[in-house]
Amino acid sequence: MKNLFLTMIIWLISLLTIRYAHAQQEQEFLLTNVSDNLVMPEPYKSKEPQCHVSLYKYEYAAQFIYGIQKEHENMRLARGCYITSITVHNPNDADVRFFKNLVLTHPSDGQNTGKVMPMGESVLKAGEAVEITGVDVQKELFPNGFPSSYIKGLFIIRSTESLDVAALYETATIDPENNIEALNDIDIKQICGREIQQKPLPDLVIRHFDASQLYSDCYDWPETCVTRVTFTVENIGKKAAGSFNIRVVFDPAQSVVVNQAVLGLDAGASQIYTIKTQPGRSCFDPDCTVCVKVDSENTVTESDEENNYLCVNKSEKKEPEDK
């Protein structure tokens, strides 16, 4: 009887050892840099600098002259008073963002090229219009007054969508004391835009990532649970992506982080990844949230940097209680 009891104990220990070894095999996957204590902020932001990609598709350039040219011998511009105002209208059904620059050619401070002076970004709602005058330029760029009696240059507008842009030019004569005498001319010019040619760039996105792709396998005790998730990374851009990193966080409360290194992805290509955690407690408590960040270190310059992050949540299925 004693021998039978010892045999059963040995058999039980052997069975548990085999199952534990089976659980340990779950660690054999192509993932690296696994950490159990890292925290992924919402949303995750890399310490690496963000790559800047222009989102503006159209550019408008209008001649801009404002002020009084007082000198008789000045051959750069005829003596007189000049006023320019720019009107911008949004004919689209959605908001349009546009950025304003003044490229100052006079006074030039001895420079061969004009000085670029940003005036910031504005938003026009559908159907709205705005007028930009010399007074606005002075308030924004020259709060202490213009550097000379008049300024001259190009007013540049870059927008996310096509706009209606027009420039109003008014000129007036001045007397010997440089006072305005009479209006001399009014001219309105429609400013034609040009489409900005963007260089081809990659664009990494996450596909086929939902709750149905998230599950957990547990064995004899909670510490053997392995959580798996499957998703697809696709390059929808027009250029191949170089090497990048995929960062996956299982259950932000526990912060189980897995990093997957990728050598690259051709334009139009996609790759399926199945990511697994090391054996540990189940992600379901009772819900499980998994967040994926493609190009987590911002090593790839993309045409859209805002579509690399996605999270899914799944509730643990509970068996119905016996009545």
Per-residue pLDDT of the chain (323 residues; tens, 9 = 90+): 555 555 555 555 554 454 444 444 433 333 333 333 333 333 333 333 344 445 789 999 999 999 999 998 888 899 999 999 999 999 999 999 999 999 999 998 766 778 899 999 999 999 999 999 999 999 999 999 999 999 999 999 999 999 999 999 999 999 999 999 999 999 999 999 999 887 888 999 999 888 788 888 887 776 788 888 999 999 999 899 999 999 999 876 667 889 999 999 999 999 999 998 888 877 887 788 899 999 999 999 988 888 999 998 888 654 444 44
Rounded Cα–Cα distance for residues 137 and 101 (Å): 10
Look at residue 18 in the predicted model and tell me its pLDDT: 44
pLDDT attached to residue 197? 81
How many distinct structural domains can be found in the chain?
2
Query: In angstroms, what CA-CA distances link 38 with 252, 253, 316?
Result: 9, 10, 24
Q: Are residues 191 and 204 in the same domain?
A: no
Give me the pLDDT at residue 304, please. 84
Nearest to 154 by CA among 205, 121, 115: 115
* Cα distance between residue 80 and residue 178, in whole Å: 8
Q: Is the residue at 63 inside a domain? A: yes
| pTM of the shown model | 0.54
Choose one of 166, 195, 224: the last residue of a domain: 195
Decide if 71 is inside a domain.
yes
Predicted pLDDT at 49:
37
Same domain, 76 and 106: yes
Residues 68 and 178 in one domain: yes
Residue 269 CA: distances (Å) to CA of 86, 112, 116, 201, 296: 45, 47, 40, 14, 19
Domain that holds residue 239: 30-52+200-315
Torsion of CA 52, 56, 58, 60, to 10 degrees: -80
